[in-house]
Chains A and B, each alone.
Chain A
Amino acid sequence: MLLESLKRGDTVLEARGITKRFPGVLANDRIDFEIKAGEVHAILGENGAGKTTLMNILFGLYQPDEGEIYLYGKKVNFRSPLDAIDMGIGMVHQNRKLIPAHTVIENIILGHPRAGNILNLKRTGKEITELCDRYGFKIDLKAKVWQLSEGEKQIVEILKALYRGAKILILDEPTSALAPPETKRLLESIRIMTRDELAIVPFITHKLPIVLEVSERVTVLRRGKVSARLETTGATEKSLAREMVGRDVIFRMERVEVEKGKPILQVENLSALNDKNVLALKDVSFSVQEGEIFGIAGVSGNGQQVLAEVLAGLRKAQGGKVLLDDANITHSPSLERWSKGIGYIPSERVDVGSIGDFSLVDNIAMNYYFDVDFTKGGIVNYKGLRKLTEEMISEYDVAAPSPDTMAKSLSGGNLQKLILARVLSRKPRLLIANLPTQGLDVGATEFVQNKLMEAKKEKAGILLISEDLDEVLSLSDRVAPMYEGEFMGIIPGGEARREIVGSMMAGLKPKVEEI
């Protein structure tokens, strides 16, 4: 095969002058990009910079309006992802393209031309195990995918691409859902893959340190154009962010010291079940004080979501107590909690945080319909709400044409700003912020984090749940790493060492002297 004769340093993929237009948007504007065998070449950009479009073009999902793609020096024309797969391009999707009800091995061989009519799971299993050994992956091939962690699912996707014979691996936000130890293992595997002359193209929005650690070259996109091409030696986190955003970004949010007041929220021995009726929150105790950000760090699925829902009154507590300003609210309905001063930013901003087919005014009304200032005798004061929405849009810099815009037409960052505006405008005593910056680009993240800091200055207590370790560490006054429904400890945010919190998130209880 042609692919076998590749040597390190040969250009395997080259895109020249890629241009793609969507109605009203120039998503990709004459983008040039190339990658060599055995190289890691990252593509960096904010949301809306054209990364996804470019990725979809390289994978054959979209056809470019202008420009050419050359694979191993020959011009190619992908009509569908299948063409790209057949020519050795593998894609590891951020929202995993796997079937949860099927086993790992079934997912890997799905659609594989060599699978045969009658599946030979023994033979394919052996071949896949060899791949695992070679690249240092550990996975149970007979496990069902729904039982796997995010990191393991990613391994399955990588294996699927490799088993199909991928020579170029596109990784979409490869580390965004991984715990630090998983990230470390992934980077190790990437290094072995490049030794085998594979070309790796990670697409990255956040987690800039990873880019610096793993890649040799970086192409930065901004507003559909290439804004910089650099070697990673010599680049810094700051310089990359500047190229992405087009201005200097405050990287580490300065933690403002605010005098702590009395405790607002007290949680004692709280336990709860998850959707599968398994105990997912075990005996958790903590408190949040006025003017404090209490951070919960953890990899997705370790009980943070359950905790947030119990505190918001959306899920029943199995045991324990929740006190808000010394009043027991363990079994209070949500509405009572909102009236008593809890504000809730759900992690699913599209499914739970907003109703896509409602206008922005209606979405704001969802948090105000019970407010006596905006409703009289059951009649909602839409005039007032409209004015309020307009104020929020301008104050929070939401890019929306009018308050009557449908929520679903907003980008993730703008929608999150609107949800933030809705919650903060009620001046909550306690703000539960569940993954407030997940999936947001650098600019919007900075905005949200600033607003959280402002709320803290105004003496609100904030419970910040985040999967981004850097975010938790830089914002929180105290941090609780969470693992399998338990707090692995509660440590002061300023002094917490990244490695220690990282290993606590993976389930290790540290020795006291290490903290």
Chain B
Amino acid sequence: MWEFIVRSLDASTIFTIAALSELLGQRSGVLNVGVEGVMLFGATIGFMVAQTTGSYLLGFLAGIAIGGLIGLLHGFFSITLGSDQVVNGMGIWILGFGLTTYIGYPYTGPLGMERIPNVIGLSPFFFIGVALIIIAWFVLTKTSLGLRIRSVGENPSVAEVSGINVTRTRYLSVITSGMLMGFAGAIYSLDYNPVWSNDFLMGWGFIALALVFFSMWNPYILLGGSILFGTLWQLSLNPQLVLPDLMSRYIWRTVPFTITVGALMLMSTEWFRARWGAAKPEALGQPYIKD
């Protein structure tokens, strides 16, 4: 049982950081549906660098850097060129999927490095994830930078007449967001499951994306949601640990996705929105083009 909880929290950590990164971008008004793609980049490049150099630190830095670079690319298309953010994000996913399969293929197999030591039985990244949530909440609600980020996500033209550089603020968020996505990917391939194989993520990024909507753009609900989904995810992988022989493991495998679909459907109802007043950033997904 303890092992199950630990594995669940490890999985939650990746959801937390990936979803938090998406939340950060979305609060500034930029939607990135290609979380999965950025994570694949971070995971693969991080894995390759760590294995080549034998250094976890360099591996993580490489994962963060490539994530930031993809974030910059997404920013260039969706902020500077004002293209459709959904299409652009899908492009990033397909690019990530294709390119990492190609460049990562020779690295198929285990990482072959000593595991990262645990802290009181848990992955150290769990604590980093919780700390990032607290920092993100503090920055978004208590600082003037956070106010600027939220305002460009709500109404960029208002932000502009208040003297805020919309482009710069959005780039800052999107690049930071990309770096965190790359970091989340690298945690997966260097710590959670240090084996490289073809398309190993299998939907983590998409669940992270859904978690942002689930969280109603609140970092704390996001943390709760991540833990819930991490547990479900773990349950779907090893149902026999908790509920032996209840259902086929193939059915268990679909549980997190089914719940995601259900939760998103519930949240998109008029009833739910009226009741909870989901705090969706008003300008989410809309490029800001000055006339």
Determine chain A's interface SS by DSSP, over half rule: loop
Q: Is the CB of B150 within 8 A of A102?
A: yes
B264 to chain A, nearest CB (A): 21
CB distance A81 to B142 under 8 Å?
A: no
What residues of chain B lie closer than 8 Å to A99, measured between beta carbons?
A: 150-151, 154-155, 158-159, 282
Could you tell me if A118 and B144 are in contact, using CB atoms closer than 8 angstroms?
A: yes
B164 at the interface (CB under 8 A from A): yes
Contact A119 B274 (CB under 8 A): no
* Residue B161 lies at the interface, judged by CB distance under 8 Å to chain A: yes
A277–B145 touching, CB < 8 Å: no
Q: Are B157 and A97 in contact (CB under 8 A)?
A: yes
Task: Given A102-B154, A276-B274, verify A85-B163 contact (CB < 8 Å).
Answer: yes
- Those of A95-112 within 8 Å (CB) of chain B: 97-102, 106, 109-112
Summed over the interface, the residue pairs from A and B with CB atoms below 8 Å come to a total of 64
The SS class assigned to the B binding surface is helix
Q: Contacts of A98 on B, CB cut-off 8 Å?
A: 158
Q: How far is the CB of B207 from the nearest CB of chain A, in Å?
A: 26
Tell me which residues across on chain B come within 8 A of A117, comparing CB atoms: 143-145
Shortest CB distance B91–A (Å): 28
Q: Among the interface residues A81, A85, A109, A119, which one has the most CB atoms of the partner chain B within 10 A?
A: A119
Whether B274 contacts A277 by the Cβ 8 Å rule is yes
Given contacts A97-B161, A111-B163, contact A102 B151 (CB under 8 A): yes
A-side contacts of B270, CB under 8 Å: 277
Determine the residue in chain B with the shortest Cβ distance to A91: B161
Q: How far is the CB of B11 from chain A (nearest CB, A)?
A: 32
Interchain CB contact under 8 A, B158 and A119? no
CB–CB A119/B154 < 8 A:
no
Q: Report if A111-B274 is in contact (Cβ < 8 Å); known contacts: A99-B151, A117-B144, A118-B143.
A: no
Residue of A nearest to B160 (CB): A81
Q: Are B142 and A119 in contact (CB under 8 A)?
A: yes
How long is the Cα–Cα vector from A117 to B160 in the complex, in angstroms?
Answer: 19
Does any Cβ of B come within 8 Å of A187's Cβ?
Answer: no
A116 touches B155 (CB 8 A): no
Q: Is A3 in the interface zone, CB < 8 Å from B?
A: no
Chain A residues with Cβ below 8 Å from B279 are 101
- Please give me the residue from chain A that is nearest to B164 by CB atom: A111
B170 close to A (CB within 8 Å): no
Contact yes or no, A118 B142, CB < 8 A:
yes
Complex Cα spacing A106 to B157, Å = 16
Given the complex of chains A and B, what is the CA–CA distance between A160 and B158 in angstroms?
12
Known: A99-B150, A101-B154. 19 other contacts (CB 8 A): A85-B163, A97-B157, A97-B158, A97-B162, A99-B151, A99-B154, A99-B282, A101-B282, A106-B147, A110-B147, A110-B158, A110-B164, A111-B151, A111-B163, A117-B143, A119-B144, A119-B147, A160-B162, A276-B274
Chain A interface residues toward B at CB < 8 A: 81-82, 85, 91, 97-102, 106, 109-113, 115-119, 160, 276-277
